[in-house]
Amino acid sequence: MTHKSIRIGGLTRVEGEGSLLVRARGGRVTDVELNIYEPPRFFEALLRGRDHTEPPDITARICGICPVAYQMSACQAIEAACGTEVSGPLRDLRLLLYYGEWIESHALHICLLHAPDFLGYDSGVAMAADHRHLVERGLALKKAGNELVAALGGRAVHPVNVRVGGFYRVPARAELAPVAERLRRAREEALATVEWVAGFDFPDVEHDYRFLALHHPAEYAILSGTIAVSDGTGFTAADWPAHIVEEQVPHSTALHARLDGTAGYLVGALARYALNGRQLSPLARSAAEAAGLGPVCRNPFRSIVVRAVEILHACDEAIRIIEDYTEPQAPSMPVEPRPGVGHGVSEAPRGTLYHRYRIDGAGLIAEADIVPPTSQNQARIEMDLRHLIEPRLDLPEAELAALCERAVRNHDPCISCSAHFLHLHLDR
């Protein structure tokens, strides 16, 4: 075989629309292109000229699965520009809301998008025919996350209760009691999910990843912190533009990102676990150890186990926050606009999400910059594919195409929200 070209016209079981092209010649992979072909959405341009209070509601529409992530990074960037920092019970409520999104997003990915790869099914629906109880458990976990988001955000998708400075309304302690009870059941379901996915048959693959994630001295960082890199370097949110630079590539409408001039770093569950695993809740740490993860996981196929551990951590910490909750005196802090630049970073389920806003003297957005996790991971996904495929080029065509899709799904890319059937074109 001197030449092979694999074209996957529509990646399946990922959120959004993308395709994949792999070219090989003389037993070597020469090109790997993860093509995100959805039209640009121009949210950063849409934000210019809008009031400084509007980014949380506007940017939430970027993603129906991770709207809270966009709201939290947006709020923190605007607040930083205005010289305000939200703390105390209001910060706890933001973290609680974020945990709800982590639970629902990870549960969806694990049980309906990723697990079918390991059990030999082409969809979650097909898997449900033989493993109904497993799919129902995953849906119950997702429902628990949705209910938590709705309790704090006003609704489960595109929450309407989040504002710069806090919330429009905060719940009374009694309102959270039934949510906590549901989360206690979800915690048991999450532990069972960790044990289930830990038993999958994982390909023996490891990559020398350069991880990047938020780090916080007192918690498993989700909402705030400094940016840590696995080579021992790090920087603050305000220094992000000096270290992370985006560039256009010909084959994708999404930008690629470079860290200190080098492409191919990784954000997301594997990065968070590698850099912050010791700060997981005791129950989640114990489950990770029992699942055989070790202090660092470099096998992308085992990312499904790390996400299950993160669900368990989110349930555990959400229960703790509710049990310790004291209703704040006001639902929000005043945020007075002033000219300035603010940076906000948080950990979306799929990885580190950065926002930057420049506000003018009238309190309007003059500039906006948003760097989502999937654009940061694109180059690394292409590197994963190159290393995975090259020693396996003699596999049958259908098997190689399926392996390519699995390698992409390991990173749970969020392109938007749709699904396609696979179209494969192979030239020799």
d(CA 21, CA 31): 8
d(CA 106, CA 69): 13
Residues of each annotated binding site for Fe cation: 66, 417
Tokens of 307: 């996400």
Tokens of 184: 């206690």
- Of 333, 368, 412, the C-alpha closest to 106 is 412
Helix axes 132-153, 173-198, angle to 10 degrees: 150
Residues of each annotated binding site for Ni(2+): 63, 66, 414
Mark residue 143 as left, alpha or beta (left: phi above 0; alpha: psi -120 to 50; beta: remaining).
Answer: alpha
User: How far from each other are the two terminal CA atoms of the chain, in whole angstroms?
Assistant: 7
Residues of each annotated binding site: 44, 63, 66, 370, 414, 417, 420
Residues of each annotated binding site for Mg(2+): 44, 370, 420
- On whether the CB atoms of residues 283 and 316 are closer than 8 A, the answer is yes
Q: In what helix (H) or strand (E) does residue 314 lie, and over which residues does it extend?
A: helix 303-323
Tokens of 336: 């007075």
Place of tokens 């458990």: 137
Residue 408: is it exposed, middle or buried by C-beta count within 10 angstroms (0-12/13-18/19+)?
A: buried
DSSP code of 66?
S
List the alpha helices (DSSP H) in 62-218.
67-81, 88-108, 115-119, 124-130, 132-153, 173-198
